[in-house]
Each structure stands twice: as C-alpha cells, then as structure tokens.
C-alpha cells in the first residue's frame, strides 16, 4: 500500500486515470487492504480521490487482505489450472482469513513452481468462477456492486 501513503504518487495515478477514462468514464481504485479494514480505508481513499479528481466518478475497492484472496474464494474453479491442486477442504477455506494468500496458493502447487503474481494473477483472474468468488467473498461482492453502480450511472438502460 505504499502508493496510497505517497500522496504525490496517488495524486499522479488518479490524474492519469482521469485523463485516460474520458468524460464518460470512471476510475476504479483497486488495492489490497492488507491488515487494514477494507471498509474504513476504502472510504478514506474515496474521500481523498474525490478531492483530487472531483470531475470524475470514482470507486474504491480494497480486496480483504489481498487480491489473491478472491482466488481462494473461487479455489474449486481453479483446480488444475496453473498447476494448482485444490482439495475439497481447500475449496471450503475462509477466503478472506489467510494473511498470506499468495503463500496459500504457492503451497497448492505440487510442482513447487511457486506463485508469481505477474503471470499467475492474470491467468487465474481469467479462469476463476466469478459467481463462486461473489458468493464467498465480501470484498469481491463490493467490487461487483461498485461496478454495476458506476456502469448504470454512466450508461443507464433505455
């Protein structure tokens, strides 16, 4: 979370996003909460972001603990993908409880290849069962809720 603690970097990234999203777009700030309360920190960041880019719609979502917790929530759908071996017990794990979700994933790779965020995160994101993650992760539900809210505001149905 060093980005949010460096005010100039946070401001610069938000300004860049504001320029790229255009007049009808919106900005999604997606970060790991680590040990912070996602709701509390998320609201603080939303207030900060609104001051920096008041001319844009902004949603702030913090994955409880880590983004990879969402993979734990959808673990059953990832069995066999990227060398993961997910047992039935693993599939029932409390997704937002482990402090080291990356380590949790690495331990489930019997080939000992480890978990590599740069390559594994996009591949697992594309493969994970979104409904399963939605059902088992509060912070993922927040992402979905914010996504629907912002897209409805900016592109209302006729």
Considering the domain architecture, whether residues 34 and 59 belong to the same structural domain is answered as yes
Radius of gyration from C-alpha coordinates of the chain: 17
Considering the domain architecture, whether residues 12 and 23 belong to the same structural domain is answered as yes
Considering the domain architecture, whether residues 33 and 90 belong to the same structural domain is answered as no
Q: Which residues of the chain have pLDDT under 70?
A: 1-5, 154-155, 157-158
Quick one: pLDDT at residue 154?
65
Domain count, the chain: 2
Considering the domain architecture, whether residues 142 and 122 belong to the same structural domain is answered as no
Contact status, residue 136 vs residue 95, Cβ threshold 8 Å: yes
Residue 22's Cβ-side half-sphere holds a number of Cα atoms within 13 Å equal to 3
pTM here is 0.87
83 secondary structure, DSSP code? G
How many angstroms separate the CA atoms of 20 and 18, rounded? 6
Domain assignment of residue 34, given as a range? 2-64+138-154
Quick one: pLDDT at residue 1?
46
The mean pLDDT value of the chain amounts to: 91
Provide the greatest CA pair distance for the chain. Answer: 52
């Amino acid at each position: 979370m060093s980005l949010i603690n460096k005010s100039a970097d946070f401001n610069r990234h938000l300004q860049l996003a504001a320029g790229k999203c255009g007049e009808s777009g919106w900005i999604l700030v997606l970060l790991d909460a680590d040990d912070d309360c996602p709701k509390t920190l998320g609201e603080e960041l939303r207030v900060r972001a609104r001051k920096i880019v008041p001319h844009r719609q902004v949603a702030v979502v913090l994955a409880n603990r880590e983004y990879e917790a969402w993979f734990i929530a959808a673990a059953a759908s990832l069995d066999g993908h990227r060398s993961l071996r997910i047992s039935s017990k693993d599939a029932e794990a409390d997704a937002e409880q482990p402090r080291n979700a990356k380590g949790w994933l690495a331990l489930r790779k019997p080939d000992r290849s480890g978990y590599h965020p740069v390559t594994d995160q996009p591949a697992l994101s594309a493969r994970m069962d979104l409904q399963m993650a939605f059902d088992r992760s509060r912070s993922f539900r927040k992402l979905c809720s914010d996504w629907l809210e912002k897209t409805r505001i900016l592109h209302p149905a006729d």
